[in-house]
């Protein structure tokens, strides 16, 4: 009744921003990401009749309140499927500082899903695992797979899941996550999405074009066409942040340093150093480039005073490990 899993984080080229069904976490639009190899979560789950209640330890500290509730709710989903009632002990560790403000829910809920399902004795295929992970945190359904992954929006819980478009060895690119600021975000991703659908006058406009952009990205991945992939990802990041900024209250996740770096990236590109950016719910910037440009970009980042970054290659899907955390 004990199992351990490792899952990598992912960075979206075409973003998920808004839920069609909040309870089940079904997205308004299909979306696409790259699973990355430098940021991961390892999670051990043990179900036992000896535990009186669920105990959750995240990065060496005991989770309480909302954080713990989210994990317990996810364990309930797995318990329901496995028809067990045992409480669980969960120990989870990120290999990157949580305070850096880089995504942890994607790798976190993917690892929790794979470990909890195995610990509960469920033998599920990746599609089922993706459907379960999705209900913990949407983007985590993509981290079940390695490489280039599409989340098919679907309309019901059973047809909203991720599929692999190309594996991690198909097209070698780099994703450099630059930590610009480590402050807490004022409005959470969940609340931000809800507000954007209700109030942004351009929310529907993005929905009208985003599936077309996704098709373009998918073709670009399969053709290993980095220019189309990067420029379309960058365009969708700007579009999503335009939706955020036109939400009431305004969701300005960028800091002055964010814009400074985005302008640098555009300048480097105009000088012939090909790279593109994306930004999630926060001030940090991801830079996409081909492997032969990585060194030059890391050098320029240091020159410009950006010293906190994680360079990733395409990473593999979530898997079980033999060694447990407790
Ligand atoms: C901006 O998956 O963290 O990073 O489903 O509410 O847990 P919940 O949201 P989450 O949202 C990720 C939003 C994003 C875009 C993306 O990764 O596609």
Percentage of the chain with pLDDT > 70? Answer: 99
Ligand 1 first shell, C-beta below 6 A = 12, 15-17, 25, 31, 105, 137-139, 189-190, 280-281
Q: Ligand 1 pocket check: which of 151, 189, 285 to mutate, most ligand atoms within 8 Å of Cβ? A: 189
Q: What is the pTM of this model?
A: 0.97
pLDDT of residue 100: 65
Contact 39, 95 (CB under 8 A): yes
SS3 content of the chain, % helix, strand, coil (to 5): 40, 25, 35
Distance CA 13, CA 210 (A): 11
Span 96-123, pLDDT tens digits: 877 666 777 999 999 999 999 999 999 9
Does residue 47 carry a pLDDT above 90?
yes
Res. 38: pLDDT tops 70: yes
pLDDT, tens digit, for every residue of 186-218?
788 999 999 999 999 999 999 999 999 999 999
| Residue-averaged pLDDT of the chain | 96
Rounded to the nearest angstrom, the distance between the alpha carbon of 51 and the centre of ligand 1 is 32
Q: Quick one: pLDDT at residue 260?
A: 98
Please list, in sequence order, all residues whose beta carbon lies within 8 angstroms of the beta carbon of residue 295, skipping any fewer than 6 positions away.
none
**170 has pLDDT over 80:** yes
Neighbours of 22 (CB within 10 A): 12
Spatial distance between the Cα atoms of 101 and 279, rounded to a whole number of angstroms: 12
pLDDT in tens, 202-260: 999 999 999 999 999 999 999 999 999 999 999 999 999 999 999 999 999 999 999 99
> From the CA of 189, how far away is ligand 1's center (Å)?
6
| Strand 285-289 relative to strand 174-178, pairing | antiparallel
- Which of 17, 139, 187 to mutate to test ligand 1, by most ligand atoms within 8 A of the CB atom? 139
Q: For position 99, what pLDDT does the model report?
A: 64
Residue 325 CB contacts under 8 Å (≥ 6 apart), including other chains: 4, 42, 43, 44, 91, 92, 93
* Distance of CA 86 from the midpoint of ligand 1 (Å): 30
- Per-residue pLDDT, averaged over 125-145, amounts to 98
The tokens describing 192, both together, are 């931000």
């Amino acid at each position: 009744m004990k199992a351990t899993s490792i899952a990598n984080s992912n960075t979206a080229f075409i973003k998920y921003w808004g839920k069609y069904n909040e309870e089940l976490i079904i997205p308004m639009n299909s979306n696409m990401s790259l699973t990355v190899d430098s940021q991961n979560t390892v999670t051990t789950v043990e179900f036992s009749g000896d535990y009186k209640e669920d105990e959750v330890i995240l990065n060496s500290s005991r989770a309480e309140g909302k954080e713990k509730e989210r994990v317990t709710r996810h364990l309930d989903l797995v318990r329901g499927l496995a028809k067990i009632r045992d409480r669980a002990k969960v120990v989870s560790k990120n290999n990157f500082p949580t305070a850096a403000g880089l995504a942890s829910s994607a790798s976190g809920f993917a690892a929790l899903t794979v470990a909890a399902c195995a610990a509960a004795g469920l033998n599920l295929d990746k599609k089922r695992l993706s459907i379960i992970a999705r209900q913990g945190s949407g983007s985590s359904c993509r981290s079940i797979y390695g490489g280039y992954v599409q989340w098919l929006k679907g309309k019901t819980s059973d047809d909203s899941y991720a599929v692999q478009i190309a594996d991690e060895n198909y097209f070698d690119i780099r994703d450099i996550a630059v930590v610009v600021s480590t402050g807490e975000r004022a409005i959470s991703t969940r609340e931000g999405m809800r507000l954007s659908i209700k109030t942004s006058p351009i929310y529907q406009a993005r929905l009208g074009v985003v599936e077309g952009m996704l098709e373009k990205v998918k073709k670009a991945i399969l053709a290993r066409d980095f220019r189309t992939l990067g420029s379309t990802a960058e365009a969708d990041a700007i579009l999503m942040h335009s939706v955020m900024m036109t939400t009431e209250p305004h969701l300005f996740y960028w800091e002055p340093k964010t814009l400074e770096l985005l302008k640098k990236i555009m300048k480097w590109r105009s000088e012939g150093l090909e790279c593109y950016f994306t930004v999630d719910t926060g001030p940090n910037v991801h830079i996409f480039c081909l492997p032969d440009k990585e060194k030059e970009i890391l050098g320029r980042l240091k020159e410009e005073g950006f010293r906190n970054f994680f360079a990733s290659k395409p990473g593999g899907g979530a898997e079980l490990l033999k060694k447990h955390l407790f």
